[in-house]
């Protein structure tokens, strides 16, 4: 029984060492954010990314989002046209019924 308790304590020691190494790595990158466990914030991970990579990513995102906006406008326009066609056909139907 004493073996199992010593092995479990050694595994918890290695886990705490890994946590300490992770904290040291985070501090070296730019400091881990406050908040402790349960509230991870990863904004500090992006500090060392090359500026050109961030700019390229932003450029691609903006291009894609512009495409979404144009697509949404086209869909709205098509929907309005379809509704107008329905109104027109119903008006024709009512006119025929009145005759």
Highest-scoring range by mean pLDDT, 8-22, 26-40, 44-58, 65-79: 65-79
Nearest to 44, CA basis, from 60, 61, 27: 27
Asked if the model's pLDDT at residue 93 lies above 80, the reply is: yes
pTM of the model: 0.39
**CB-based contact 33:47 (threshold 8 Å):** no
Report domain extents, the chain: 1-48, 50-99
Mean of pLDDT values over 42-65: 82
Average pLDDT of every residue of the chain = 75
* Spatial CB neighbours of 41, under 8 Å, sequence gap ≥ 6: 33, 35
Mean of pLDDT values over 90-99: 92
């Amino acid at each position: 029984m004493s073996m199992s308790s010593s092995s479990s304590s050694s595994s918890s020691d290695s886990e705490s060492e890994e946590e300490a190494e992770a904290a040291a790595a985070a501090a070296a990158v730019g400091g881990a954010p406050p908040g402790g466990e349960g509230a991870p914030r990863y904004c500090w991970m992006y500090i060392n990314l090359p500026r050109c990579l961030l700019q390229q990513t932003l450029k691609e995102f903006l291009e894609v989002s512009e495409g979404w906006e144009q697509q949404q406008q086209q869909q709205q326009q098509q929907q309005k046209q379809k509704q107008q066609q329905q109104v027109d056909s119903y008006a024709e139907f009512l006119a025929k019924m009145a005759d």
